[in-house]
Structure formats: C-alpha cells, structure tokens
Structure 1
C-alpha cells in the first residue's frame, strides 16, 4: 500500500467513524443518573436591596424558593447528602441575590487561606454554576467559603476536564459568611452585568457543588455520577426567573495602572529605572458581547511561572495567567489538538526569543479583543494585538490577529472556523523572507453528547507562509467514551513538516500520531478503596517524510486506586522506543557529547505515586521512578508537601531529582529542581507570597516576592521583588523591584 493512500484511507475511516458516533450520541436524550426529570426552582423578583453581611436575617429571604435536597457525590453517588445545603435566590433589575445555609458536623473547617480564588478541592466551600445560555458548554462560577472568602471562574468545553476550568477571570461582586455551631450561612450579591445572557431570558441552567471536610463528603444539587467531573455541565437543573430579564447595561470599566520599576542587570552591567503608564478598558456590547481594549499593558504583577525540568527534545507549554487574555479564552484557544497542533496559544504574544535564544518580554503596544455571543447559538471572537520592535535583539514589530466563529449544533456540540495572521509590516534586515508572515485557516467539529458519555473532535488546518513546499496541513480526530465502569479514547493526528502556526503551540511537525487508551474501573463495596482501575495506553508516531518510519512507541500500563480518605496510589510500567533523528543531549550539559542521531533506543521504566489526603493540615505526595533511559539509566524522585497554619499561612514545597547515568563518552548528570513557597494572608485584602526556585538545569536560583493590597474591589497596589542568581558560584544575574497600582473605575 502506498503511503499517501495509507494516510487518506486512515483519515477517511476515522472521520466517518467519528461522524456516525456523533449522530448516534446526539440522537439520544440525556439520562441523568439517579433522577428522571430536570429539577427546578423559582427565582422571585424583588424591589428591595440586600446587604451581603452573611447573616440571613432579612425577612424577604423567607419568601424565596430553595434549591435543596443535595445529593452525595463522594464517597457515594446514589444517596442524599448527609450534610445538607439550602440555596435561595432573589433578583431585581441590577443584582442576583443568593442566600446559602450550609450544614456541617461542627466548626472545624479546612481553610487554605484568606486569599481570593482559592483552590476548592482541599478545603470547605461551596460553588455555584450558572449556564446562562443553557448550552451545556460554558458557565460562570461563583464560590464562597465559611470565612467569606470568594472566588469566581469560567468553565468551558462542557467542563470535560481540568483544562476547561480557570479562576484567573475576575469580576466585581460582593459576599460574606457567618459561622454558627453546626452550620454557616453566606450571602452573595452578584451584579447581573457580571453575567452574559440573552435579553428577555426566563431560565438559566444551574448547579452547585460543595466540599465538606469534616464529614469527608462532596455533594451536588443535581445528582452526578462519580465518573463525571463535579463541575461538568451535562448535569444541570433550571433556575426560572419570575419575570423576564431585561437589557443588561454594563458600565464602561477603565482600569489604568502606573508602574515604577528598577532593574539591575549584572551580566550587562546595566541599571534601568522606568515609569510606565497604561491600562485596559472593558466595554459591554449588548448583553452578550465584550470588547476589551489594552494600551501599553504591563504584567509585572502576574504570578511567576513554575520552573520545570525538561528531559525531552520538545518545548513545554505553560498556562496563561494574564487577565487580558482570559475572558472567553476557549473561543480562541480550544481549536485543534491541545498537545500536538494548537493553532493559537496566547502566551506567544508578548514573549519572544533574543539572539541567544533566551525567552524575553516583547512589549505589547496595544490591542483589542471582541468576544461573546451574537445569538444564543453563535459565538464570535476577534483579537488584534500589535507588539513593539526590539531591533537590538532582532525582534520585529508584529501584528497578531485572530478571527474565530463558533456555531452550536445538536444539543451541546459545535462547529468552529478560525483565521490567524501574524505579520511584520516593515522590512527588517534580520527577518528571513520565510518569516515575514504566517497565516493559518482551520475548521473544528467538537462533539459533546447530552449526557457527557461521548466527546470528541475533528479538526483540519492549513498554514500559509512564504516558501512552503505544500506539506503545510494539520488534521486529526479524537473520540472518547466515559461510562461508570469503562473508559476508552482514541486519537489520530497528522502534522505536516511545513505546517506552522507562529501564534500556536505545535510541539513537533512531520508526524502521524495515534493512541488508544482503555480503562476498566472497579467500585468495591465495604472497602477502604473508593475505586480502582487498570489502564492500557499505547502511543505510536510515524514520520511521513521518512517513508512513514516508526520514530516513537510507548506502551504504558497503570493501576490506580482512590481511597475513601481521598488519598490516591498508582503504579505504572512503560516500554518506550525513541528514534533520534538528530543528536540529542537529555542532560543539556554545556559542551557535552550528545547521543547520536539516526539511531533507535529502547528503554523501560517503572513508577509509583502516592498522594495523601489534601484536606489535612499536613499533606504530601511522593513519586519515585527507575529504569533505563536511552542507552543509560535513570532514577527520578519528585514530591511535594503542604502545611497550613489556618487560615493565614500556607506553606508548600515541590522537589524533583533526576539522576541520569549514560555510558562514556556521553554525559551523566544530577538534576535538581527545588521550589518552596510561603503564602501569608494578613486579611481578605492584604496578601504576601514568596516563591523560591532552584534549578541547576536552567542554571538559575530565583526569588519572587509579591505583596498585594486590594484597597478597593479589583483595585490593587503591588510591590514585587525579583532576584535571580547563577547556580555555579551563586553570582547574581538580575534584580528588580516593581511598585504598581491598578484601579478599576466604572463609568
């Protein structure tokens, strides 16, 4: 069989298979586990204002309907919750008012800190999900804990996995809590302008989930099976408004900043003092569209990236933390395949490589970002950002543009179309002809069945750039099945050797990749084990340009057990084959002799992992592994620990050690990554955190210390100190201090 026919037949078969499954899944009505009909409650309209002090002493709460009778999600998912929750809602023309009563065994709550946007899974709290377009795809999240600490977030992609969940999004709202002997109450006042919804709407989809550390229970208003995510949007009830919602007029929000900074570069012997001014504006267009404008943005206050040890030949992606790129980010960043062919990765904008291939900041001059829903089923996203030239580091000024369209089909699926353009308009001597522009056009079909059992994707992308030889396509398909006892998934991805997306994340080109993952889950009764599973996960990669030579294989088998005390244990065996096309030094040792390319390597390894109960004051994880590594040996150990001095101090430590021993004349190495962090929340408005990171692979010892004072809603004063040293000799690299003030002004 000729290679072109092999590729074509494979993709035709997989596309037809995915389409048939998609139509089968869409044709079936949702079957909600443990219930036969959708639950609902009435949200009454009032003409009084409620002050959110956490005490439900206003008589008007007695008139409100309740969302109650919660179901247990963990440790069982077939009974009513042992510790119940009652949620009441009222509204007026401006606000949604929420009163919550949460029953508990006592007052011994687990609280990580007083900082906003806390992590929910290891502490006591309750979260509320609002699917304002009832599409089962996107939702707003608002949460609160017994101390009145708040969080908000966005859920996309139906809540299928953790990548669809972000708490980086911020919006103005109020809330507080009051603790009693065996319960606590919370009040929340959320402006309707915080949501996006259709004018005249009378019903939103709603669910709520709660973590209760004292009874070791997780509960939800709508009964959700444990094989599904607790924030999955396939399981929602109805909140029905007494009268239709009116037009939501979001005031114009201006968010200016002033930043004074001092930087000392010890390598270059330079001292730089700088005063920067800029800001953002947020404009609401109707009830459903956002226009974000930024001018000379500054991200000095954003949390520093966690350093990682990279023993592969490929780049590692890190999460986006900049607020400007967060809202509706799924509309831009969910195209293609997140691991192998993601055409838009917002971190590419504002970050570039200098002449020594070091990653440095590339100043953003300004930009606009329009996103939201034009109709109930049709979404639009448009982004245009201009970056500045840095001719000393041979970085051109680029215009970065993306247009994204998404149409809902069937119950929860959608079809998306996008166009990306990265272009430098000026002719620079240091820019090669093939790098003057890069454009990508693509199409996605995203499948989510109504009951969350089936999900998948088909995508097709083509890039356009000067001097391409035509091998500039990327396409693929993925299908997943998730039931209580069986899970299965499969993927096939092709990325041509000339495919490029300068604003995307493409780990490698010239691949045809496939994998199949099979998992059998067991639910023992009367056991300390909550569930355990066996997984089998083979991966194959071929190189089309090398006559479809098999360049990578991995056969992975795993057993995993989740215990009823919420700890977790797993054991894994891997058999790996890697064909090195080019020479490669996995230790990244300067001046070392790399492993020879054009050669294959077989190696095996075993790994175990244990994670203790994260609800405890002290928790930890350990993950040792040992085995062959290319033509040598490798021992690795990584672990972490956390300790809470509730509720104001949270200590954490991450450590990884890799011992790589290769035969002479190739390099061996001991690679360390140590990262302690201390977080102190003096109050709900003053936070201090210090992160220390030591990595001898990156030859860096870094200190990032950040003091934040939230002096008004979403308005902050930051004092940020950064210090970096070379590991050898502990010589200083750079040192900086920033004083930045931002203020959120509604007009």
Structure 2
C-alpha cells in the first residue's frame, strides 16, 4: 500500500512540474494619489476618475465562466503609505441587496459582499483577505493552508465605508501599508477580487475563474502593478491599554476594584519582519467560549481568540494532515490558560516574517505563578520556533520546535519536520496536495514511545474531493504546548466526496459523501471506527440545503469512562448505528437557521441529539441568534438528559459601534452565564470595550447563587511611527 502511495505522490510531482507552464496573469495598474482620499464609500475624488478600471469579471457559480447578472468596476489607488481600493457593484434592484451584518469579523459569506486577496510576496502561498458587505461590516483573514482555507481570527488595522444608491452599492477600502508584511523589492503584487450577489446565489471573480480553485490560492491570482516604493515610516507601533475592573466572587464577596495597564509594542526589522513585545498582557476584550457537550472520552477543542497569538499565526501552521483530530504540535491556548484558571502573562516577545522564500516565527512567553484547584504552580517560560521554506512553485518544507511547560515540568521540548507538496496544475488545472510530517517530544515524566508521524494525500476539487490521511501517535507523545486528543494509536481516515451539478430546476449541487475512520491501538486491537455516508446532501438553487446521513460506528472501551453524571460506560466492544436528518434554511432570508437530529443506537442503548440554530435579523440594526442542543440518552448503565442553550443579541449601531450580549446555560454545569460587550472603534487606531460578565449557579434546590460578577472597561490606542 505504502509503495503505491509513494508512486502516486512522485508521479503527481513529476507530471505537474512538466505541465506547469508560464501562464499569462491578468493585470490591473494602480493609480496614484497625492492628497488624502476620504474613505466615505462615494469615490467622488478626481483621482478615482483617472484611475485604470477593472471590469472583466466572470461567474464561478451558478455557471463557470458565465456572464454576471450585474457589472462590477474596480479601481486601486496607491501612495507610499497606503493602498485604497474602490469597488462599484451595480445592481438593478438595490432594494433587494442582502445586508444584515455590521459586526466586525462576522460571517458575511451569505450576504452581498466583495472580497479582495493580495499576495505582497508573490510567493503564491500566502496572502491577506479583506471583505466588506453592503453595510460596511469588515472581515479580514490570513490565507491558510496555501489557499485552501482562511484564518479568520487574524485582525488588522484598515478602514472601509460603503454607500447605496439607485445604481447599486459602492465599497471603499483603505489598507495602511504598516498593517501588512510585504516584499519591498516588488513593484507588483498578487491580486484578485470576488463579488457575491446573494439573492441570485451568484459568485463572480476577476482571476482564477474556476470552480476547482479556491479564491485564496494566490498562485492563481492576477497582478496589481505600478506599485510605488512603499514607506512604512520608522515602523514602530506602540499600543498601551488601560483596564479598570470590578470583580466580585460569591454572594457575600466584596467588590474589588483594580486598575491595570498593559503594553504591546512592535518594531519592523524591515518591510517583511516584525518584532513584537507584550508586557502585563490583558485579554479582557476576548469573547467567552461557547460551551459544548462531550459524549466522548476525549478532550474538547476550543479555538484561539487572543490577538497577540493570532498575529502571524499562519507561519506556525505545521504538517499537512495534522489538526485537532490528530495532533496540533503548537496550540497557543496552552499558554495563559490552565484548567479553569487564567494565568497572568508577565511579558512575551515574538518575531515573525519572511525573507526571500523563507517564512519564520519565534515566540517566547513568561507567565507568573498561579493556583488552580488548590495547587500552586511556579512562574515558567515557554516558547516555540517555526521555519518554513518555499520550494518548487507552491510547496514547502519546514521545521518546528517548542520548549517549556505550563505547569513547570522539567525537560520539556518538542521538535518536528514537515514537507507539503501542492500544485493547482495537476492534470492541467486540478488541485493536488500531499504531505508528510514527523514529531518527537520529551519531558521528565515521559518514557518509551514519544514520537508521532503521519501523511496525507488530497485531491480537493469541485466535482471530486478524495483524501487519505494516516497518523501514528506514540503512547507517550505529549507535547506540553500541543493538543493531542488520543495517544498510542494508528489513525486512518479515507474521504470521498462526489459533487455533481445536475441540470435540475431546484437542485444546484449534490454531495455524495463517504468518510471511513479507523483507529487502532499500537500493539493492540481496534479502538474506534466510523463510516459516515451521505446518500442525500443537496444544495438547492434557493440556497437551502437538505441532508440525510447513515453512520455505522464502534467503540472498544478499554477503560470505563463517565459519559454523563453518574452514567459510566463499562469496558467492552460496542457497535451502533447512527442516523442524521438535517435541514438548513438559506441565510439570505431575515429568518434562517438549521435543524439537526441524530438518532439511533448508542452503547447498547439509544441516543437522540437534537440541535437547533436560528438567526433572525428584523433590521440591520438588530439581530438575534439562538442555539439549542438536547441530548437524550437511554442506556443500560443509566439514563441522561443534557440541555445547552445560548442566545445572542446584537445591536449594531454602525460598523464601528456594537452592543452584543450572550446568555448561555447548560444542565451539566447548571451555570447561567451572561456576557455583554460594547465595542466602540472610535478611530482605526483606537477602540474601547465595556464588558459585563455574570455567572450564577442553580443548585439542586433550584436556588440561584452568584458565582462571580465582573465589569471591565478597556481603552487602547495604537501609536504608529
């Protein structure tokens, strides 16, 4: 089997190199401006009238390379300090433009919006994504996994305004050159524009107009030419923050008022290298985690939300085929968070950037001493370093290493190597990716097998998406700064998606899915298997979706575990059959959502999992979100009922001023949590957060008891030099 896999890999490598030709990339020349351009969404300055115009767009859906239903005009203006993009979106029925959101970084993919990707290194493997809807809600992301996905948690300083008129809508974007890294020797960048006309379920692009290719694949983007020698000034950013907090613990606890300051400062060491320092780091503005239920014997995964760790996080991505299902060698939530405690970060430093075809990043953090569940832990130092070299046209080879342990255990380190081969020109114009990785870790409490390795082969295209992923995780592979849900296993996953587009009046695309997962203990028998199938998964022309799934699964329990309060699954081999029915209503409507029902056998009993998500946007000023989950288990070892509900209210005054409140309650913890935030961006360089947190516990007598209450006010401003 492995011999055949290596043959396929090297055949793909050889054939794609032979087929890769120097392709003509469409280009747009940037115009120049000398006086300040007012960002108001009007494009009424004289410079806009004289700038070169881009209007050659084609559809990717519903028809590949079809004629758009409405015109789109794009102009770009530059000076030595900024890039300004103006996009005119003509629409014969502007009253039907789908626009609900105003919140920063909200999901605007199902609304009318424009999206821009730039590649200021021309390496075809990295880039920045900026998107704006017709309400001026801003979304930004880093190109991730060489364009196959986006890291939407990344944030930058930039401006956007929009206007709506009788001809459609207009977006105006200003990106300061200090907000990104770039190759100063270049006078042209990779550049592409995409527009979504939601009510028509229509997507149009300028370059890379192929369904098989992802918008973020900058190797297929056009070119933005006539760029100046950019000047980022001294390159210093100094962002102090002032935080005032009132904390109360327990009903009888006293309210304690604290004032604290923190500082983030950065200095460019060239146009494409940034050094960052953080002191007394504070994450008061970070949103609370959304609670999850766990019906497995493995830990839950929660994503990183803290800005300091997200900056340059694309560089720290490691190993094609790794992830929260197998292993994340560096999981930044291990730093500053321990169990139920937030660990004070005294200071830290980071350096990341690109030199030529080499991307690199280094991070070091010193945390203070802390207590968790009555145990005291000493202050400790932790860090990670990553180097990645671009090879061939779209491929990489790299290494990663980390040191330190959150609880202070001695001798902790981890190192690894990875290689990823990628081409967007396999067999002419298809995607093909193959990669391998290997890791080794050590610590004073580890012995025997401390290694992990794996590979993945992927053919991710519009009609066919085929993949094979394998990982071997040693029994004592436990990186202190990583995330490893299962140890001592062989993991195999085979995936297949066949997605035809029938010429039916109601159905746009069908997705026939098959995913086989098989996990075996090292030197032992099988531990888990799952066969996920989707005989029906139809995307309708209206944007609605219906899906039915059949999933045979099995678990070989070697050690009893508690699946719910006082319900323990004993040792044994269990085989069960799960079914799912799901319906999704298109988000283009003011009322949309998704309903899911998993049912069938489960550990010699039955389990029903009911999940409901609703979104109601009565106006662009006000939005409501509801999510509810209900697990009903009837097992020979005991019955359980779990309920988790959450409600979010968004009051969007403008795209720079929002009030959001989130209330969640679950019957496992019996804690009612309230989180309310006012976020005011009073300047592109400064903002204010007012945060209220309130948690109460419902005991067995149905008495509500205050656990903790907190009011936070945080003000920060970025001084750029």
When normalised by structure 1's length, the TM-score is 0.91
Q: Which of 597, 609, 612 pairs up with 2:582?
A: 609
* 1:431-452 CA-partner distances (Å, limit 9, x unpaired): 6xxx323210100112221346
Q: Which of 344, 349, 355 pairs up with 1:368?
A: 349
Q: What is the distance in 2 between the residues matched to 1:20 and 1:667?
A: 54
Change (3 A) 1:388 1:13: farther
Shift of 1:43: 1.6
Show the counterpart of 2:34: 47
Q: Give the 3-state SS of the residue equivalent to 2:118 in structure 1.
A: strand
Q: Give the 3-state SS of the residue equivalent to 1:62 in structure 2.
A: helix
Q: Which of 312, 319, 322 pairs up with 2:303?
A: 319
Structure 1, 377-386 or 184-193: larger mean CA deviation: 184-193
Q: Which of 482, 487, 491 pairs up with 2:469?
A: 491
Q: Give the 3-state SS of the residue equivalent to 2:560 in structure 1.
A: coil
Shift of 1:557: 1.1
The answer on 1:668 being equivalent to 2:648 is no
Shift of 1:270: 6.1
Change (3 A) 1:608 1:177: same
* 1:166-200 CA-partner distances (Å, limit 9, x unpaired): 154121x3332222112222322322222321122
Q: What is the distance in 1 between the residues matched to 2:216 and 2:183?
A: 23
Structure 1, 631-640 or 98-107: larger mean CA deviation: 98-107
Q: What is the distance in 2 between the residues matched to 1:648 and 1:334?
A: 41
Show the counterpart of 2:390: 408
Q: Which of 378, 383, 388 pairs up with 1:396?
A: 378
Show the counterpart of 1:6: none
Q: Give the 3-state SS of the residue equivalent to 1:586 in structure 2.
A: strand
Show the counterpart of 1:153: 141
| Count of residues paired in the alignment | 708
The 5 A counterparts of 1:81-92 are 81-92=68-79
Show the counterpart of 1:5: none
Show the counterpart of 1:632: 605
Shift of 1:80: 2.1
CA contact (8 A) 2:213 2:424 kept: no
Shift of 1:247: 4.9
The answer on 1:596 being equivalent to 2:567 is no
CA contact (8 A) 2:177 2:230 kept: no
Change (3 A) 1:169 1:680: same
Spell out structure 1 runs of 4+ moving beyond 6 A. Answer: 10-13
When normalised by structure 2's length, the TM-score is 0.94
The 5 A counterparts of 1:182-261 are 182-241=167-226, 244-249=228-233, 251-261=235-245
The answer on 1:442 being equivalent to 2:416 is yes
Q: What is the distance in 2 between the residues matched to 1:617 and 1:477?
A: 44
Show the counterpart of 1:116: 104
Q: Give the 3-state SS of the residue equivalent to 2:220 in structure 1.
A: coil
Q: Which of 12, 16, 19 pairs up with 1:21?
A: 12
Q: Which of 520, 533, 539 pairs up with 1:557?
A: 533
* CA RMSD, 1 decimal: 2.2
CA contact (8 A) 2:490 2:520 kept: yes
Show the counterpart of 2:160: 175
CA contact (8 A) 1:438 1:500 kept: no
Shift of 1:711: 2.1
Q: What is the distance in 2 between the residues matched to 1:267 and 1:504?
A: 38
Q: Which of 301, 308, 326 pairs up with 1:340?
A: 326
Change (3 A) 1:514 1:30: farther
CA contact (8 A) 2:508 2:538 kept: yes
Shift of 1:464: 1.6
* 1:533-563 CA-partner distances (Å, limit 9, x unpaired): 212211111111xx23111111121131111
The 5 A counterparts of 1:413-424 are 413-423=395-405
CA contact (8 A) 1:151 1:167 kept: no
Q: What is the distance in 1 between the residues matched to 2:16 and 2:245?
A: 56
* 1:142-161 CA-partner distances (Å, limit 9, x unpaired): 22333334333222222213
Change (3 A) 1:311 1:119: same
Change (3 A) 1:396 1:59: same
Q: Which of 90, 96, 110 pairs up with 2:83?
A: 96
Q: Give the 3-state SS of the residue equivalent to 1:585 in structure 2.
A: strand
Greater share of strand: 2
Q: Give the 3-state SS of the residue equivalent to 2:573 in structure 1.
A: strand
CA contact (8 A) 2:360 2:388 kept: yes
Gaps of 5+ in 2: none
Show the counterpart of 1:658: 631
Q: What is the distance in 1 between the residues matched to 2:610 and 2:16?
A: 43
Q: Which of 101, 114, 118 pairs up with 1:126?
A: 114
Q: What is the distance in 2 between the residues matched to 1:636 and 1:623?
A: 8
Q: Give the 3-state SS of the residue equivalent to 2:569 in structure 1.
A: coil
Show the counterpart of 1:683: 654
